[in-house]
Structure 1
């Protein structure tokens, strides 16, 4: 897990920078899932403007970075999940963190929010495995 410190107002920008770095490092776009705790990512809003059916088809196709709300109910696993803590309550952020950890196969990057040690402690209290912290 990696943590990218940012306030709520800057969390989306840090997430976009993180996605760019992941792609520049050779990650395939379809390997990345971006989840927001607060307001929807602007790209998600854009894609939804073409209709729900087309939006969800992109998830199934898996060829591009997919942007969704952290409460995503559909089963999806991607190599990398970028969790954007850009709003919502602390309880919602903690629940989103636990869920994002289950969606991530290799790496979870948390942009904004609390220190990952705090999130890890809340997961441990809930009986979830502690995340492995990777260098930035």
Structure 2
């Protein structure tokens, strides 16, 4: 697969993903993928992050469409147990983008812009995901949808 395109959302130099948060905000990486491939692209991004030494508890994965299978499975045990895993910060946490306000900030946030093309979901989720990302926001999906949702070229 093609490596992700790295771009900063400001004119300032991007902060290295392993460095401290920058006052200019997190680095943004766009991984182009069709809506039906965004979840797979997000999974590959998480695998790469883990393979390069990122701690699992540093990563939050959000989906704008269908839930990630891990989230759906864990929610079957009840919301209290599901959110307790979030609070423990021991592993990668997967959630629906609609729940991003309940999720705490993590150094890396990965967003899969998957689903039926509901632009409003992506438009609401991406700025909130950006606010939750400490050093790196990775967005997987259609670049046109993502740029429209963020309100600027990424």
Same fold (TM over 0.5): yes
Residue 43 in structure 1 maps to residue 70 in structure 2 = yes
CA distance in 2, matches of 1:75, 1:68: 8
CA distance in 2, matches of 1:48, 1:118: 31
* CA contact 2:32–2:142 (8 Å) conserved in 1: yes
The aligned counterpart of 1:82 is 110
* CA contact 1:93–1:113 (8 Å) conserved in 2: no
CA distance in 1, matches of 2:34, 2:79: 30
Count of residues in correspondence between the two structures? 124
Q: Deviations over 1:41-66 (max 9, x none)?
A: 01101111222111110011001000
Q: Structure 2 vs 1, CA of residues 80 and 49 (structure 1 numbering), >3 Å: closer, same or farther?
A: same
The aligned counterpart of 2:93 is 66
RMSD: 1.7
Q: Residues 106-121 of structure 1: matches in 2 within 5 Å? A: 106-115=135-144, 117-120=147-150
Following superposition, the deviation at residue 109 of structure 1 comes to 0.2
Moved over 6 A (4+): none
Structure 2: which 5+ residue stretches go unaligned? Answer: 1-27
Query: Which structure has more RCO (C-alpha within 8 Å, separation ≥ 6)?
Result: 1
Following superposition, the deviation at residue 113 of structure 1 comes to 3.0
The aligned counterpart of 2:79 is 52
Q: Structure 2 vs 1, CA of residues 119 and 45 (structure 1 numbering), >3 Å: closer, same or farther?
A: same
TM-score by length of 1: 0.84
